[in-house]
Structure 1
């Protein structure tokens, strides 16, 4: 599972690097915004 996540992240980062700088900034700001929303992980839900 972790390997799948890592390869997905790697692909997403590669795509992000190909974007123009302004778009990169927008994507990073959006990711920062998402990180503010606390989403419980699967392991936390099951305990």
Structure 2
């Protein structure tokens, strides 16, 4: 699991850059798929090189 203070920092950083944070509840069907990615997923606007 990711420490809650680290999650808070990531969320604040995303919101400061006009990003959107979506929290997926544990009872959602997608929850377990996200857990396989480490619990955090990002949709990026620009290609990374």
Higher helix share goes to which structure?
1
TM-score normalised by the shorter chain: which range applies?
Answer: 0.3 to 0.5
Larger Rg: 1
TM-score by length of 1: 0.36
User: Comparing both chains, which one has the higher relative contact order based on Cα–Cα distances under 8 Å and sequence gaps of 6 or more?
Assistant: 2
What is the TM-score of this pair, normalised by structure 2?
0.35
